[in-house]
Amino acid sequence: MAERQEQQQVASDGDAAEWKQVAELRAVTQAQDPSCKEEEDYTLRRFLRARDHNIGKASAMLLKYLKWKPTAKPHGAIPASEVAREVAQAKLCLQGYDREGRPLIYGFGARHHPARRDLEEFKRYVVHVLDATVARLPPPGPGRQEKFAAVADLKGWGYANCDIRGYLAALDIMQSYYPERLGRVFLVHVPYVFMAAWKIVYPFIDDNTKKKFVFVADKDLDRTLREAIDDSQLAEIYGGKLKLVEPAADDSN
């Protein structure tokens, strides 16, 4: 019944030729990994779009994801209690939505301390955050939002916060296993020293993803954020009405 409902939904959503390619992608991938049967058509469409509708490349990407998924998330999700040290730093707040209905992540780069982090735990934390953010999206369906947005605040960021290995690991997870999920990132209060780290990371960002990072000058901050985010969803620190709440490390979600 659920499978038939999904077929009815996708039939009314978008380009028929694209959905035909999705079916081809499923057939090619499922022949090599039967677990593909459990993935939604909308998931396959994101992988297809991430590889510019090249079925061979999309299938290779999807097969990598199917192999990664049960290993990275053997219980289906990573609870906050398993990444408690990362959660306790309160560097990411998953609250609010932008004007396009994308769930927001408010991030604070100066709260990240690589000298005290375990890289494997950090990678699990990234998966935890991405899954929690995706869970705030509506169920898949015609015309429904599939992406999230973020405000990355780098006020106070210095060399002690610089974590190239961590940045690249997070980027790889997002691009490889959560394709077409990122909608926009506003980088605000960016110090000059951060640009040295950005120049190292930038070549590893997919071309389609690069344009989603927007550096916002302080003089344009208020206008830019208010154009993108309603006052009720904009954090108080940027003049909005949303009170950010630090996440709890004992949260089971």
Half-sphere exposure of 143 (CA within 13 A, CB side): 1
Give the number of other CB atoms < 10 A from CB of residue 162. Answer: 17
Kindly give the confidence (pLDDT) of every residue in the chain, 253 residues in length, as a single tens digit, with 9 standing for 90 and above. Answer: 445 444 544 545 668 999 999 999 999 999 999 999 999 999 999 999 999 999 999 999 999 999 999 999 999 999 999 999 999 999 999 999 999 999 999 999 999 999 989 999 999 999 999 999 999 999 998 999 999 999 999 999 999 999 999 999 999 999 999 999 999 999 999 999 999 999 999 999 999 899 999 999 999 999 999 999 999 999 999 999 999 998 765 554 4
Can you list the positions of beta strands (E) in 99-252?
104-108, 148-153, 182-188, 213-216
CA distance 52 to 46: 10
The CA distances from residue 250 to 78, 106, 175, in Å, are 12, 20, 28
Specify the DSSP class assigned to residue 233.
T
- Asked if 253 and 83 count as a contact pair (C-beta separation under 8 A), the reply is no
What is the per-residue pLDDT for 25? 98
Can you list the domains of the chain with their CATH numbers?
Answer: 1-72 (1.10.8), 80-238 (3.40.525.10)
CA dist list (Å): 160 to 110, 163, 170: 9, 8, 18
pLDDT at 14: 67
Whole-prediction pTM value? 0.91
Task: Give the model's pLDDT for residue 106.
Answer: 98
What pLDDT shows up at residue 12? 52
The pLDDT score that the predictor gives to residue 155 is: 98
Res 248: pLDDT: 62
Residue 215 near residue 190, CB atoms below 8 Å: yes
Whether 116 and 159 have beta carbons less than 8 Å apart is answered as: no
Q: What is the pLDDT of residue 249?
A: 59
